[in-house]
Amino acid sequence: MQNQEKDIIRYFEQMDRSYFVDENKELASLDRPISIGYGQTISQPTLVLKMTLELDLFPQSSVLEIGTGSGFQTALLAAFSDTVYTVERIKALHEWAKGKLHESAFTNIHLKRGNGSLGWKENAPYDRIMVTAAASEVPAQLLEQLKNGGKMIIPIGSPHSQDLTLIEKNEQGEVTSTFIMPVVFVGLVDSED
Ligand code: SAH
C-alpha cells in the first residue's frame, strides 16, 4: 500500500479554503473553524488534515464521506483516492458543494442528499469512511458498509464534546477502536432537513 502522506500535506497546503465558503472568506486562511451557513461549520484546517492522514488513504480506495458541507474535505479525499461518495442532509449545502466540486473538475466524486447515518448502500462496501459530524455511537449501517481491512474516522460522544475515533475492521471482520483526540463537531442529525 502506497503511503501518500507527504503528497497529501503538500496538496493540502496549496488548497484555498476560501473557494469553498460563501461568507467569511477573509477568515478562511486562519486555523480556526468557520461557519458555512445553516448552523454548520468547517473544522479548522489542521483538523481536516489530521483526519485525512489518519484515514490512511490509498490511490485505489473507495471512500464514503458523511457530511459533505462545503465540499472542502471532499476535495481533499478525492485527490487521494479512486472514488468518493459523499452524503449531505441539507439540500442547500449539497447543491453548493456539487457546484464547487464540479467546477473544480473532479470526476471521481458522487454526491447524494440524504441521511448519512444510513450510509450509501448501493456503492458499499467502502475501504474508508469519514464522518464529519458527531454521533453518540458508530451508526450500525456505516460499520456494516465498511470493508474488512477498512478504516473509519468518526467523532463519538455528546453534542458538546467528542472523541475523534479511528475504527478499524480487520480481515476477519473484527472491529477495534482507537481514541485519537478530543474534538467538537456539529451533530449528525438523523433526518433530512
Ligand atoms: N466536512 C465539511 C464540514 C462538515 S459540517 C466541510 O469540509 O465543509 C457537518 C456536516 O454534516 C453539515 O453539513 C451537516 O449538515 C451534515 N450532516 C449532519 N447530519 C447529517 C446526516 N445525518 N447525514 C448527512 N449529513 C449530515
193 pLDDT tier (thresholds 50, 70, 90):
low
pLDDT tens-digit map of 57-75: 999 999 999 999 999 999 9
Residue 1 is predicted with a pLDDT of 46
**Ligand 1 binding residues, C-beta < 6 A:** 36, 40-42, 66-67, 69-70, 72-73, 87-90, 93, 115-117, 132-133, 186, 188-190
The pLDDT of 166-184, averaged and rounded, is 98
Residue with cell 474534538: 183
Instruction: Tell me the pLDDT of the chain averaged across its residues.
Output: 95
Task: Name the H helices within the chain.
Answer: 5-13, 45-55, 72-79, 91-103, 140-144
pLDDT tens-digit map of 36-65: 999 999 999 999 999 999 999 999 999 999
Give the CATH superfamily of 5-183: Vaccinia Virus protein VP39 (3.40.50.150)
191 pLDDT tier (thresholds 50, 70, 90):
confident
Residue 192 is predicted with a pLDDT of 58
Of 73, 90, 94, 118, the residue with max ligand 1 atoms within 8 A of its CB, to mutate for a pocket test, comes to 90
Domains of the chain by residue range? 5-183
Distance CA(85)–CA(136), nearest Å, equals 23
Q: Which of 146, 65, 55, 154 lies closest to 109 in space, CA to CA?
A: 65
- Catalytic positions, written as ranges: 43
Residue 65 phi, psi (nearest 5) = -115, 135
The pLDDT of 116-144, averaged and rounded, is 98
Largest CA distance in the chain: 48
